[in-house]
Structure 1
Amino acid sequence: MENKKSENKTFPLPEKKKSKPSIKKWIKLVWIGFFAVVLGISALFFAVSQGFVGDMPDVKELENPDIYVASEIYSSDNVLLGKFEKEKTKPVTYKQLPPFLVYALQAKEDERFKEHSGIDLKSILRAIRFGGERGGGSTITQQLAKLLFTGNASQNKIERAFQKLKEWCVAVSLEKRYTKEEIVALYFNKMDFLFNAKGIEMASRVYFNKSTSQLTLPEAATFVAMLEAPRRNNPYRNPERAKTRRDVVLKQMLDTGYIDNATYEKAVATPVVVDFHEIKTVEEGYSAYYKFYLRKEIQQYLDSYEKETGKQLNLYKNGLKIYVTLDSRMQRYAEDAIKEHLTVLQKNFDGEMRRNPNRPYYNLSKSQINGLMMSAVKRTGRYKQLKAEGMPEDSIMMEFHQPTKMTRFTWQGEEEVEMSPWDSIRYHKQIAQAGLMSMEPATGDIKAWVGGINWQHFQYDHVKQGKRQVGSTFKPFVYATAIMHLGMTPCSTVSNAPYAKGSWYVKGGGGSVTIKEGIAKSLNPVAIRLAEMAGTENVIQLARDLGVTDPIDKSLPMALGTSDITIYEMLGAYSTFANFGNYTKPEMIWRIEDANGRVIKEVKPVVKEVMNEMYAYTMIDLMKGVAEFGTASGELRRRGIAANVEIAGKTGTTQKNSDGWFMGIVPKLATGVWVGWEDRATHFWSTGEGQGAKMGLPIWAIYMKKVFADKALNISMEDKFIKPANWTGSCSDLNNLRNGYGDDGGLQTIDELKNPVKEVPDKPVKKEDHSNEAINSSDDIDFNK
């Protein structure tokens, strides 16, 4: 038995050795990986080409540029104000290009242009291997594709990578659609050579005063050198550098066999001689400011039209007719008024600045000034262009401190100078800026829009784009809230004594004054007490109801205008008082038609009732005091506007005289004016010169005198505000409204209101910490005293 058992005993089998993957398996994995990469790349290119990872430009835009029909802008008095048109250019054909211009382009940018199909792998590998030191990897076709994208390339590496993929896709598409000769012609026609020289033909006229076909070899090489850096290699701005880079192009033409040695020697010995003739465009002056806003508004309507109908309309090619509410005469009067006053104001400011070692700044350290300057530098097109070209920061700053030829703004006309871009920025920061908007309160029609003083030098709109501290022009919102929620009348009295809360202090003159005197003389303690009694939340809500969407300071100093608000929103709010308490959204567009006269959009007024007409007229009555005996009266009389002209207005001056405002309403027209400088640290030292009555009001007065004088406008000095039917002029009128409007219940009596620190029942005042703040008692706000 034992032997049998031993015979049946099992032993563990030896472990099998793990076999190595066979060669066939490795081959299979390689093929799978290969196809995965190919499919992945194909999917990526397909996604890019279809716009799944971002919008792609339409290469069809390059075709038939001459068939584009500009859209026209017509004023309310049927005057052609301007057009929306493509940049002025004169396309040339390939046959009109001198052969050496084409040779120079190929030698400098793309030696194998005739051989590839849009993408040159050899150039790409070379650029990767040598980090771009021996030339980039972009072909001429890729560069044309890049020109179809708007704006500079992103500094983000991932976004730049996708941008490059997009360029490759567009380049391949271009190669399929066009011949090599057509691509070269399109490239030269699309290139921007600065100074409004769009395309090679315009560039030839601007820089050398001749047509493209007449260019010499050195001139052609100069333009090709500009392709890599239009600003740095500009023959007008930097002739020495332009010649150096031009000679590099000529050397490449020699090395590639396009020219012989004798031709090369003769060309490099030729100096760069510019016969400069700059082209002025319709985008200069004042018109570009309202067109900047108008273009955005129109595009919104066109986008909505496309969603509704499926039809796409292009503002620059479909010949639309845009009828706007602007009046060409009033627009001209507004522009003239700004120029007339700012010419004098600038002269006075320059006189004061001669004594300022930190011109044009007050109370700033060198590091603060440098910070403002660097912020301005980085906003310039020059900086963005150099950054996009990959220039190091220190080299860019050297470029900005290098003197060059340029034009600078003066009120006597543009001035040709040689100065560094850095000094040019500092110079233009000294130029006073202004914004003006004028509208009909009853309709909301905007009649004049001046967003700045010169678009070419100051491309920033001060009507709707720019937000500035509004100062005492905010006070009417406080007074209106007090009238609506506290039942006050023009005869209600409030203490003008100094106001103190903790360590926060507002200087005052003492005694009690009527609220009409308080607003007329812009007394800060009165406004502060009214805001505290009525509740800052209620003041803010009223401002919102009046169309103010900009952020508003929630602390008590908001009563004195610490918030930044646009002229557009301020004027819309003020117009409500003249429109019987109905807010009407300011509008510039009346109607848009297509080329065949079919209406695309007809804009209807947007109206909202905000307050009873009695409240609204009370505000008009209060603000009439500003013009009759208050902060605006003296300057109005000096400007020849009589005391019997009915004007409801408000002056505003902000901290350190940085902003000067005047909001003025006559029965049929409301107008808002702001004057200041780009930086708030630039201002007049004295409030005597820097207050709103001296900076903003004169523009309003000059403008209105011109409007009054034009009888065709039907706006007269004899016009009177329409009083409500039950208005008698007595202080009891508003008290009678209490029985009819339930939302004003629980109000205090006038005697109770004489206590400036007592809160309104059910309207608690929000406690704020103002321990580090103080407010001056004048129209000027200063939180540092």
Structure 2
Amino acid sequence: MTNNKNKTKKKNPWVWRLIALFWGLLIASVLGIAGILYSVSEGMLGPLPDVEQLENPDINVASEIYSSDGILMDKFEKEQRIPVNFKDIPEHMVKALYAREDVRFNEHSGIDGEAVLRAVFAGGQQGGGSTITQQLAKQLFTIKRSKDKLEAVKQKLKEWVVATQLEQRYTKEEIIAMYLNKFDFIYRANGVEAAAQTYFQKNVQDLDVDEAAMLIAMLKNPVYYNPVDHPERAKNERNIVLRQMLKYGFLNPQEFSQYSEKPLGINFKMLKSSIKETYSAYFKYTMRKELEDYFEKFADKFGVHYDLYRDGLKIYTSIDSRMQKMAEQSIKEHLANEQKLFFQVQKGRSLAPFYDISSAKRKEILEAAMRRTEVYKNMHAQGIDEEKIREEFYKPRESVQFFTWEGKEYRKNKSWMDSIIYHKHIIEAGLMAMNPKDGTIKAWVGGIDWDYFKYDHVKQARRQVGSTFKPFVYATAIHQMNYSPCHQVSNERFKSGSWEPKNANGRYGGTLSLRDGLAHSVNVISARLISESGPEAVIQLAKDLGIKSPIPNNLTIALGSSDITLYEMVGAFSTFANGGIYIKPEFILSIEDKNGKIIKDFEPETREVLSEEVAFTMIDLLEGVVEKGTASGVRRYGITGEVGGKTGTTNAGSDSWYIGLTPNLVTGVWVGNEDRAAHFPGWHSQGAKMALPIWAYFMQKVYKEGKEFGISQKDKFEKPEDIERKWDCSSVNSGFYDFGNIGNYQQPQKTQSREKSVNEILSSSNDTISFE
């Protein structure tokens, strides 16, 4: 008996120690977690949304973009949505949301401890433990999950803090409404009301149980479970939601059977944008990047930060909405016909739309495009095997989206890879027009459709410029050596080391004036001129003319081997029309805050690069290109005023250019496919045939409405006082050079007769050409 008492006494201290340790660890854990959450709430692990945003998530006011003629062109807004109140959301949709996402939503205060523990012990296999409130936190404040584990933990903690703050400030009903209002169901369906209208042509309050379950199923992944793109997969996921509703007693077995057997019943139609659709997305993309950089510097200097998506700024641009529309119409007017012809030319070719590559390289290009799609990235992020993803891309589907000039099409029994191959055939374009006198940009068309081709071909894309670079070579020679337009240069074959440029028509001999050399884009003339001045001098002039793209230090740049942006080229050519004064192209005139205070004003960046005499000499040479050279087709469009210009075509015709100058408007056009291996074969890819017509259509429209813009065919280039007349070099040409029909391009006729003549050209041409 005594021994048992002694044993009991010996055990008791350990029991009490274990109990004390347990409570100590529990209290320490609670205090530790509380301390961590307090630290997060104080911003010690990074910034959190401010209280003002939490109390009023609708405080965001879009910044507005105005054209120079006073038209609201676009907005910087997080989203376009049709908000609904909780009372407008049908009860069965709320129950579907509970069943799928957070069945204990009404029992927790933003964080579901049971769900968190389940997620931890199950390694995330039974769900991530996020509540509806936490998901709203991620939507409202764009807290994105990081791949770095430590950062992911920090972000999760921030999400918890924001979720608890939301629970303190809003009712459960308000949180449900905000969550469904904020969710992006894609296809411009921001929020549940827009989604109901987009996918079912109904208001949200009129959705049936199965339709509501379909939208709730999309919350998991609106791309992967999209009923338009993946109807079978979407239906399976909808039925999982219905089964969850059955599990939690929101449906009885008979109702579950009834709704799960119903077809999806999709009646898809995208909502129209609140802003009249234009191609403004391209300059808006560039504007956003420039303004965000400006506001960052502004904040560093003045301590005030502006948010484009929240602060209700008014941005006044130099873009003229009428010219912008004319530019868009001109591109469509020309390329819609060219696209039909391109498909005809490529029909039946195993490598279409590419040339001079292997079938293995073609496959590599297409699969690289596949990996850039959002669908691929989404599937890859979910850990789906590469081979399985590839199978999905080659699988025929009920509906796949295609771009056409007539409008978007949804085609049956096509695969995503069919869509990728199709869009590799699409000819793209860029156009920029600016006033050379003040540097203001009047039109900016960065591409043909932002929804399909999110790449700006005005300032973002660098493409090989071909012969449009030659005027810089000529200007350097005139500036350095005081050559006149009548200065004679040998047209004999030229060779420097292993480089031996070829003339496009294969003819050599005699001499040519600078005026004729540039007019007919004769390669050996440009080669001789750059060999006299040296490439360094040409590169320096190009830099002075605003070109920041890298230019290699070799003689081949004379024929346009460099990759340069359309923005840079138009700015450089404008210097010639502005008497040798370079003005950096700009499209932002001023920015006002919501109170009307000006926070940025247009200040043109200018510098003198060339004398008035040299600039006017270049205008004379460029007018020669239009009068009797590669751009003589301009006159066949009824354009009679003073015009200078330069065509450009790169090797194999991958890039087609035309830059046209009038006294008050300089406009550049680039045309080509996304991949340089995709192009028209032969001579049809010339700048005179692919780019010049767009410029001509545009100027026809501008001149027709000339009074509105202060632009007329009677306008004259300003001539320096000490130059009495333009040069006539006809008496000094040697006569040894036969120009033939270079650039003598007639305005195309429509449809059949035009296609026949082009096909004749293509069938008699080889696939490779030298720089024009």
Pick the TM interval, shorter chain.
0.7 to 0.9
Instruction: Quote the Cα distance in structure 2 between the aligned partners of 1:498 and 1:44.
Output: 78
1:599-678, aligned counterparts within 5 Å?
A: 599-633=598-632, 635-642=633-640, 645-678=641-674
Contact 1:285-1:456 within 8 A present in 2 as well: no
1:478 to partner: Cα distance: 1.5
1:187 and 2:185 are equivalent in the alignment: no
Q: CA deviation at 1:36?
A: 9.3
CA contact (8 A) 1:189 1:201 kept: yes
Residue equivalent to 2:107: 115
How much has 1:659 moved relative to structure 2? 0.6
Counterpart of 1:242 (choices 216, 220, 234) is: 234
Counterparts in 2 of 1:30 and 1:270: CA distance versus 1, 3 Å: closer
Structure 1 counterpart of 2:419, from 415, 424, 427: 424
Structure-2 change in CA distance of 1:268 and 1:274 (3 Å): same
Unmatched tracts of structure 1, length 5 or more: 1-21, 734-775
1:571-590, Cα deviation, whole Å (9 max, x unpaired): 11111111111110111111
2:643 counterpart letter in structure 1: I
Q: Which residue is equivalent to 1:727? A: 723
Which SS does the other structure have where 1:506 is aligned? coil
8 Å CA contact retained: 1:120, 1:139: yes
Q: Which of 489, 499, 502 lines up with 2:497 in the alignment?
A: 502
**Pairwise CA distance, 1:300:** 4.3
Name the counterpart of 1:464. 459
Query: Matched residue of 2:129: which SS?
Result: coil
Q: Supply the AA of the counterpart residue of 2:89.
A: L
1:351 is aligned, of 341, 344, 353, to 344
The structure-2 alpha-carbon separation of the partners of 1:692 and 1:108, relative to structure 1 and needing over 3 Å to count, comes to same
Report the AA paired with residue 418 of structure 2.
D
Q: Which residue of 2 aligns with 1:552?
A: 551
Letter in 2 for 1:551: P
Cα contact 1:92–1:189 (8 A) shared by 2:
yes
How far apart, in 2, do the equivalents of 1:172 and 1:401 lie?
45
CA deviation profile, 1:250-300 (whole Å, cap 9, x unmatched): 112222233322322222232221222321223844122222223334444
- Over residues 373-416 of structure 1, what are the superposed CA-to-partner deviations in whole Å (9 max), with x where a residue is unaligned? 22222222222333344433333323322324233211122222
Name the structure 2 match of 1:232: 224
**Does structure 2 conserve the Cα–Cα contact (< 8 Å) formed by 1:152 and 1:385?**
no
Structure with max Cα Rg: 1
1:622 to partner: Cα distance: 1.6
The separation in 2 between residues aligned to 1:370 and 1:153, in whole angstroms, is 33
Q: Are the aligned partners of 2:143 and 2:155 in contact in 1 as well (CA < 8 Å)?
A: no
TM-score after normalising by structure 2: 0.86
User: Secondary structure at the residue paired with 1:263?
Assistant: helix
**Match of 1:696?**
691
The alignment partner of 2:316 has SS state of strand
State the alpha-carbon separation in 1 of the partners of residues 370 and 52 from structure 2.
36
Q: 1:47-74: CA deviations, max 9, x gaps?
A: 6555555554457546556665443333
In structure 2, the partner of 1:543 is 542
Residue 215 of structure 1, CA deviation? 2.0
- Partner Cα separation in structure 1 for residue 433 and residue 342 of structure 2: 27
Q: Is the 8 A contact 1:221 1:246 kept in 2?
A: yes
Equivalent in the alignment of 2:76? 84
CA deviations 1:402-439 (Å, max 9, x no partner) are: 32423321112222212222211211121111110000
Corresponding residue SS for 2:495:
strand
Matched with 2:272 is 280
Alpha-carbon contact 1:285-1:453 (below 8 Å) kept: no
Q: Residue in 1 aligned with 2:63?
A: 71
Q: 2:531, 2:435 → 1: CA distance?
A: 33
For residues 487 and 223 of structure 1, do their structure 2 counterparts lie closer, same or farther at Cα, with a shift above 3 Å needed?
same
Per the alignment, do residues 260 and 615 of structure 1 end up closer, same or farther by CA in structure 2, a change over 3 Å counting? same
Distance 1:505 1:309, change over 3 A: closer
For residue 334 of structure 1, report the CA deviation from its aligned partner.
Answer: 1.0
Choose which of 212, 237, 251 in structure 1 pairs with 2:243: 251
- Residue 546 of structure 1 and its aligned partner are, at CA, apart by 0.9
Cα deviation 1:529-567 (Å, max 9, x = unaligned) = 222221212211111111111111222212221221111
2:431 is matched with 436
Q: Distance in 2 between matches of 1:52 and 1:467?
A: 43
Matched residue, 1:339: 332
- Quote the residue 1:383 is aligned against: 376
Q: Which residue of structure 1 aligns with residue 470 of structure 2?
A: 475
- Structure 2 counterpart of 1:601, one-letter code: K
Q: Among the aligned pairs, what percent are the same residue?
A: 50
Higher deviation after alignment, 617-626 or 109-118: 109-118
Contact persistence 2:115–2:129 (CA under 8 A): yes
Asked if structure 1 preserves the Cα contact closer than 8 Å seen for 2:519 and 2:624, the reply is yes
1:191 deviates by 0.8
Q: Distance in 1 between matches of 2:44 and 2:666?
A: 48
Q: CA deviation at 1:104?
A: 1.6
Backbone CA RMSD of aligned residues: 3.1
Supply the distance in 2 between the matched residues of 1:574 and 1:151 (Cα, whole angstroms).
46
Q: Which moved more, 1:128-137 or 1:103-112?
A: 128-137
Aligned partners of 1:472 and 1:779 also within 8 Å: no
Partner of 2:287: 294
Of 486, 511, 523, 2:481 maps to 486
Q: Which runs of 5+ in 2 are unaligned?
A: 1-12, 730-765
Change (3 A) 1:258 1:484: same
Q: What is the CA-CA distance between 1:197 and the residue it aligns to?
A: 1.0
Select between 647-656 and 132-141 the one with higher mean Cα deviation: 132-141
Partners of 2:223 and 2:346 lie apart in 1 by: 32
Secondary structure in 1 aligned to 2:626? helix
Relative to structure 1, is the Cα distance of residues 404 and 732 closer, same or farther in structure 2, using a 3 angstrom cutoff? closer
Residue 460 of structure 2 contacts residue 565 of structure 2 at CA under 8 Å; is this kept in 1? yes
CA distance in 1, matches of 2:367, 2:184: 26
Distance 1:601 1:252, change over 3 A: same
* Residues 5-404 of structure 1 mapped to structure 2, 5 A cutoff: 48-51=40-43, 54-57=46-49, 60-61=52-53, 64=56, 68-150=60-142, 153-281=145-273, 282=275, 284-303=277-296, 306=299, 310-402=303-395, 403-404=397-398
Quote the Cα distance in structure 2 between the aligned partners of 1:548 and 1:167: 46
Q: Is the 8 A contact 1:652 1:779 kept in 2?
A: no
Q: CA deviation at 1:162?
A: 3.9
What letter corresponds to residue 636 of structure 2 in structure 1?
Answer: R
Query: Does the CA contact (< 8 Å) of 1:285 and 1:455 recur in 2?
Result: no
Q: 1:228 to 1:566 in 2, by over 3 A?
A: same
> What is residue 405 of structure 1 aligned with on the other side?
399
Q: CA deviation at 1:513?
A: 1.9
